[in-house]
Amino acid sequence: MRLIGKIMNRMTVVLMATLLAWCLLFYYAIQREMIDEVEDSLELQAEMLMIRYLAGEEIPPREMGTNNSYAIIPVTEDYAATYPPMSFESKDIWVPQRHETEPARILRMIFRDNENRPMLLEISTPTFDQDELQLAILIWSIVLYAILLSLVLSINWGVIQSSMKPLYAMLRWLDSFDLKYNNQPMHIETNTTEFRRLIDAANRLVVRVQELYDQQRRFVDNAAHEMQTPLAVCLNRLEELQQRSDLNEEQLADIDRVRQPLRRLNRLHRDMLQLSRIHNGAYTDCEEIKVYPLLRAMQEDFEDIFSHKEIRCLVEGNTELSVKMNPTLADLLLGNLFRNAWLHTPTGGEIRVKLSEDTVVFSNTGKDALDAERIFQRFYHSAATPQSSGLGLSICESVCRQYGFRLDYSFGDGMHHFTCCLIQS
């Protein structure tokens, strides 16, 4: 989820909680205010009625219009002693004029007449319907909430979007950053202190990473070249020793045992150098490569080692398939897939290479599935192929990653399947 989305979601939750609390407070404040107004009106009416009653003046009829009514009732001393001097109550009363019940606020007051007899004055007046008030407040609160929420979120969205422009510019710069090329420092105009500090820190980090990368690349290149000469000298010297006629069979066998790890080290050195060149972007030239003729040529090159293990090899499918890539990397990709198929095919097995519209599938006979999670890792090789450098498939995966291809492995019907999709994913 994007940062702005998370901020807006949290703001929505906070605003919903805040407006809900405001609605509740607003409802109870309005209710309390209306009740206070009704009670003040009832107290004034009660005072007016008591004054007229005690003065012997004419008092209004019991039904005073506007659905208001009152009653003056004599009560006992005991009742007057236990009843509070003034109290309020809310309940539904019958309104004859409307032939229905309505909510009303009732005032009850104890007073004494001119002969000191206790009297009960009860006045009722219609009041608001709480259910209707709640519904009205709910409806208008929802309307107000929707308007306020839309307005606040729209304003905040615009403000945050504008404030985050430097951050988005940094993200675009980081997305385009590539260690293989000389990248220009990040220049983003902003007055925000935090963004300026972040830009400075990112520029310092990039410079440091670029320096470390260049040092590592130079070290790998220098080490590769320094190793190449002594390896070649050792192998040539051992070959010369094997040509001598004064050596017995045991000595020749010892020399051959020394040559085997050296040859393996030489292959490992060659593969590591290729990986380093691929990662350093040494192969940038591209041209249109016809896949089928290249595979047929490789099939002929591998024919001798295939025949040594009695392996049948078949290349078939789309003869017009082509891909735009560096020729050297195309040779590395397809050649390593061929070599991997040969390594994992038992004697008398079969290798099938099938071309479709945009994929090349290398299938070879096998007994057990390989570890699909580790097979493309560097220096990994199965127990059945200890002579492998463990870098062939890693090179294939690096080439595919450089061009956006996809390389997958599966096992089924007693065969290993390596599927290389030659379109950018």
Q: What is the pLDDT of residues 235-285, one digit of tens each?
A: 777 777 777 767 777 777 777 777 777 766 666 666 666 666 666 666 677
Residues 202 and 262 in one domain: yes
pLDDT: which is higher, 168 or 101? 168
The pTM assigned to this predicted structure is 0.47
Residues 214 and 250 in one domain: yes
Among the residue ranges 15-24, 231-240, 283-292, 376-385, the one predicted with the least confidence is 376-385
Residues 141 and 213 in one domain: no
Give the pLDDT confidence score for residue 317 in this predicted structure.
84
Give the pLDDT confidence score for residue 180 in this predicted structure.
64
Number of domains in the chain: 3
- Considering 279, 310, 325, which residue would you say is the last residue of a domain? 279
User: Nearest to residue 281, comparing CAs of 122, 162, 392, 398?
Assistant: 398
Question: Two tokens at 347?
Answer: 């004697």
Using the predicted structure, report yes or no on whether residue 135 has a pLDDT greater than 80.
no
CATH number of the domain that 233 lies in? 1.10.287.130
Most confident segment among 214-228, 311-325, 380-394: 311-325
> How close are the terminal C-alpha atoms of the chain, in Å?
23
Residues 127 and 219 in one domain: no
- Considering 152, 181, 205, which residue would you say is the last residue of a domain? 152
Q: How many CB atoms lie within 10 A of CB 25?
A: 10
In a domain, residue 84? The reply is yes
Residues 297 and 257 in one domain: no
Give the pLDDT confidence score for residue 96 in this predicted structure.
63
Residues 236 and 318 in one domain: no
φ and ψ at 349, to 5 degrees?
-85, -165
CATH number of the domain that 379 lies in? 3.30.565.10
Give the pLDDT confidence score for residue 256 in this predicted structure.
74
Question: CB within 8 A of 61, min separation 6: which ones?
Answer: none
Task: Using pLDDT thresholds of 50, 70 and 90, give the confidence band for residue 70.
Answer: confident
Which domain does 214 fall in, by range?
A: 194-279
Q: What percent of the chain has pLDDT over 90?
A: 0
Give the pLDDT confidence score for residue 388 in this predicted structure.
57
